[in-house]
């Protein structure tokens, strides 16, 4: 590791911690009486947004020092790309904050951003060399623009989430409260993934299997205890847990059993965590958060949600479709090739186009829009996680 690289990772770590502190201050704004009028900022709010900006600057330091160290913009593998997404969300939040001055947004946007950055750090973080197809300025222009647009669109998710928590009647249990709870639960599962992976990484857990594949025997290393083992695999490492069952046959992809195993662990940890939270709160998480949003004006939140889609959509078109097409034209001789990543960019685009058109009719403002904003973000995350790691086309980063 040289100096730049270590400065870079320290800066990223700093940013993360500063975001955490900023979140606490955003939390304090709820009690700040003056924020009853949400557009006037109080003392806590000022500190919170200042910290957010400091954190963002630290993350910029991470970005540019890593760029200098590697010789290319750090958006070329999963770690770098997802980290950048977290950073884009913070930037988008800062911009929206200065338009609408709504502190509560920070209380939700920053934790989600931290979740994204922590998720990123689960991927190998070494600076990797660029294979020939990635050696293009258009790659960086494309990825950076898409990421920024996704950051802005993520703000609409944040606003949508706030709207739903605030507006959905929590006195009864029905489909709406259930779905809202599922959204919150999935955020906790993401946390479960991070906790599990970090814990076993710290323990240096390793269980090797010998697995028959295409007539040869290959070695597969598990870094989490194997609940779902590779089919026909034989555990080599002593004293390690042997699998409870084997991954099914049809899971053919590279390292599929390992990915399944990780998924099971994430849900396991996430569910335990969720269960504990419920035990403490004695009510749905949504119901517990709702009173804190007493002062929030739903109209304003709805407008922020719509506005961020309005800002994000053109950016997404530019980065996700047009710049992507330019790069694909130069690198692969066709600007569009229907590979899964491209198709999912198109799906995202269709989805937000549908969102905008639905907003033209009155009945779709407010709650319905909020659900759509959540679904939109789910599609974005699907494109980043599932498509990259599982459907994996040309863009496969991992």
Partner 1 sequence: MDKIKCECGHVNPEGTVLCESCGKPIEENQHIDGNDKTKLLNMRYDGTARRSQTYNRTIIDKTWNFFSSVKVGVMLIIIALIASGLGTIFPQEMYIPPEAENRDPAVFYEDWYGLPGKIYYQLGLYDLYSSWWYMILIALIGVSLVICSIDRFVPLYRALKIQQPKRHNTFLSRQRLFSKTDVVSDEHKKAFVSNLKKQRYKIVEKDGNILAEKNRFSRWGPYVNHIGLIIILIAALLRMTPFLYLDEYVWVREGEQKLIPGTDGEYYIENKRFLLELYDENDERFKAAMERKGQLVHKNYQTDAIIYKAKDNQIVGQEPELEKVKESSIRMNEPLKFDGYTLYQSGYQENEFANMTFKVYEKADADQKALGELTIDLTSPEKTYDLDNGIKVQVTQYYPDYELEDGEPRSVSKFPRNPAFVFNVFPPNSDQGEVSFVGIGKNIDATGENKYKLGILDFEMRYASGITVRRDYTLPLFIVGAAIFMIGVVQGMYWHHRRIWINPKEQGILLAAHTNKNWFGLKKDIEKAIEGTDIQMVIDQEEVEKEA
For ligand HEM, the closer CB: 332 or 350: 350
Quote the CA–CA distance of 167 and 177 in Å, as a whole number.
Answer: 10
Among 68, 356, 386, 394, binds ligand HEM (CB under 6 A): 356
Minimum distance, C-beta of residue 313 to ligand HEM, in the bound complex (Å): 6
Q: How far is CA 288 from CA 110, 191, 284, 307, in A?
A: 19, 19, 6, 28
Task: From the list partner 1, ligand HEM, none, pick the one residue 318 interacts with, judged by a Cβ distance below 5 to 8 Å according to partner type.
Answer: partner 1
Minimum distance, C-beta of residue 354 to partner 1, in the bound complex (Å): 5
Least Cα distance to 181 among 298, 264, 278 occurs for: 278
361 makes contact with ligand HEM (CB under 6 A)? no
Minimum distance, C-beta of residue 360 to ligand HEM, in the bound complex (Å): 5
360 makes contact with ligand HEM (CB under 6 A)? yes
Range list of β-strands (E), the chain? 207-213, 216-222, 228-229, 234-235, 245-246
Residues found near partner 1 in the complex (CB under 8 A): 1-2, 69-71, 99-100, 124, 126-129, 131-133, 135-136, 249-250, 252, 297-300, 303, 306-307, 310-311, 313-314, 317-318, 321-322, 325, 329-333, 335, 337-340, 343-344, 346-347, 350-351, 353-354, 357-358, 360-362, 387, 391, 393
Least Cα distance to 164 among 307, 296, 354, 25 occurs for: 296
Q: DSSP code of 204?
A: T
Quote the CA–CA distance of 322 and 324 in Å, as a whole number.
Answer: 5
Task: From the list partner 1, ligand HEM, none, pick the one residue 347 interacts with, judged by a Cβ distance below 5 to 8 Å according to partner type.
Answer: partner 1
Contact 374, 161 (CB under 8 A): yes
Please, which residues have CB within 8 angstroms of residue 154's CB and are 6 or more apart in sequence?
85, 88, 89, 92, 109, 112, 377, 380
Least Cα distance to 207 among 160, 281, 261, 253 occurs for: 261
217 makes contact with ligand HEM (CB under 6 A)? no
* 196, two tokens: 């599990």
Task: From the list ligand HEM, partner 1, none, pick the one residue 98 interacts with, judged by a Cβ distance below 5 to 8 Å according to partner type.
Answer: none
For ligand HEM, the closer CB: 218 or 356: 356
Among 357, 368, 386, 394, binds ligand HEM (CB under 6 A): 357
Contact 56, 15 (CB under 8 A): yes
Task: From the list ligand HEM, partner 1, none, pick the one residue 128 interacts with, judged by a Cβ distance below 5 to 8 Å according to partner type.
Answer: partner 1
Minimum distance, C-beta of residue 169 to partner 1, in the bound complex (Å): 15
For ligand HEM, the closer CB: 4 or 347: 347
Contact 19, 55 (CB under 8 A): yes
Binding-site ranges for ligand HEM (CB under 6 A): 350, 353, 356-357, 359-360
């Amino acid at each position: 590791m040289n100096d730049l690289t270590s400065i870079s990772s320290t800066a990223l770590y700093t940013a993360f911690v500063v975001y955490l502190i900023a979140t606490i201050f955003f939390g304090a704004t709820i009690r700040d009486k003056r924020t009853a009028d949400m557009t006037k900022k109080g003392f806590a709010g000022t500190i919170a947004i200042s910290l957010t900006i400091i954190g963002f600057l630290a993350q910029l330091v991470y970005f540019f020092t890593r760029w200098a160290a590697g010789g290319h913009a750090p958006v070329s593998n999963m770690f770098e790309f997802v980290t950048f997404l977290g950073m884009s969300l913070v930037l988008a939040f800062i911009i929206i904050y200065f338009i609408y001055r709504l502190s509560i947004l920070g209380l939700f946007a920053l934790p989600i951003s931290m979740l994204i950055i922590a998720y990123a750090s689960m991927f190998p973080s070494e600076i990797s060399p660029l294979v020939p197809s990635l050696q293009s300025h258009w790659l960086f222009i494309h990825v950076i623009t898409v990421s920024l647009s996704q950051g802005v669109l993520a703000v609409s998710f944040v606003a949508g989430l706030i709207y739903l928590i605030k507006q959905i009647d929590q006195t009864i249990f029905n489909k709406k409260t259930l779905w809202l709870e599922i959204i919150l639960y999935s955020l906790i599962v993401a946390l479960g993934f991070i906790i599990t992976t970090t814990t076993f990484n710290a323990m240096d857990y390793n269980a090797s299997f010998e697995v028959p594949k295409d007539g040869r025997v290959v070695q597969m290393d598990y870094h989490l205890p194997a609940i779902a083992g590779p089919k026909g695999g034989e555990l080599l490492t002593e004293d390690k847990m042997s699998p409870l069952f084997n991954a099914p046959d049809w899971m053919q992809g590279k390292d599929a059993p390992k990915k399944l195993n990780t998924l099971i662990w994430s849900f396991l940890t996430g569910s335990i965590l969720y269960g504990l939270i419920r035990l403490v709160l004695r009510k749905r998480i949504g119901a517990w958060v709702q009173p804190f949003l007493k002062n929030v004006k739903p109209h304003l939140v709805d407008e922020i949600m719509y506005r961020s889609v309005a800002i994000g959509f053109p950016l997404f078109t530019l980065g996700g479709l047009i710049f992507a097409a330019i790069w694909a034209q130069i690198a692969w001789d066709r600007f569009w090739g229907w590979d899964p990543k491209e198709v999912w960019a198109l799906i995202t685009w269709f989805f937000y186009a549908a969102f905008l058109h639905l907003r033209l009719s009155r009945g779709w403002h407010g709650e319905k829009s909020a659900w759509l904003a959540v679904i939109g973000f789910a599609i974005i995350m699907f494109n980043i996680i599932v498509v990259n790691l599982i459907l994996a086309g040309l863009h496969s980063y991992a």
